[in-house]
Chain A
Amino acid sequence: AAESTKHDEL
């Protein structure tokens, strides 16, 4: 599944 808006990086 796309997780593209999770923003779990810096």
Chain B
Amino acid sequence: MNIFRLAGDLFHLISIFILIHKMTTSKSCSGISFKSQALYLLVYVTRYLDLFWTFALYNSTMKIIFIGSSAYVLHLMTGPFKPTHDPNIDTFKVRYLIGGAAILALLFPYKWTPAEVLWTFSIWLESVAILPQLFMVQRTGAAETITTHYIFALGAYRALYIPNWIYRYLTSTFWDPLSIIAGVIQTVLYSDFFYIYYTKVLQGRKFELP
């Protein structure tokens, strides 16, 4: 554990808190992509299968929180707040993301075991799971401030893992190329969003695309 990883995980927790807080206080999930949320649940379930055979207090607790909160968000979106979700603006074709992640996972896992292939699938899928959400923001041309805070916190989480990987490589020669490549791609996908977030939202203006 190092400060970058801890900060990254805290940003991940904060992003989930912001999302659930936004939905429960406004009693609405407008502006949130159901497809991205469904992909995240798929990411957590396929990556954290090792809950069944590995226990570490910090990691296991976080894994349960991520799976549980993700399932809760999907419950809110399909149950109580379903009328506020507009599928007509949530139209990204996720089959290509799932298919691409599945192909990469089958071709280049660390080991050809079901758990390793699913872990690799989850790493690639996470790197692109935000795309339906970003696509939705782009289609509507604007986003609520709270939604932009959510996307920022979620992006900051994986961005902070990058200095964590550098630190771990330098201090213990830890080297996880799949996580690192996918994590860099994930951060790059957020970079346009980060730029607009910094230049607009943090200066008190509305998030609107130029």
Contacts and interface: CB of A to CB of B under 8 A. Distances in A.
Contacts of A8: 56, 59
A4 B12 contact: no
A9 B111 CA distance: 18
Given A9-B5, A10-B9, A10-B12, A4 B176 contact: yes
B175 A2 contact: yes
Contact of B62 (A1, A4, A5, A10): A10
Contacts of A3: 172, 174-176
Contacts of B190: none
A9 B62 CA distance: 10
The size bracket of the interface on A is under 10
Given A4-B176, A5-B116, A10 B50 contact: no
Contacts of A1: 173
A9 B2 CA distance: 11
Nearest to B178: A4
Contact of A10 (B66, B111, B173, B174): B66
Nearest to B66: A10
Contacts of B72: none
Given A10-B59, A10-B62, A10-B66, A5 B111 contact: yes
A4 B59 contact: no
A1 B176 CA distance: 12
B17 interface: no
A8 B174 CA distance: 11
B191 to A, nearest CB: 22
A1 B5 CA distance: 21
A4 B177 CA distance: 8
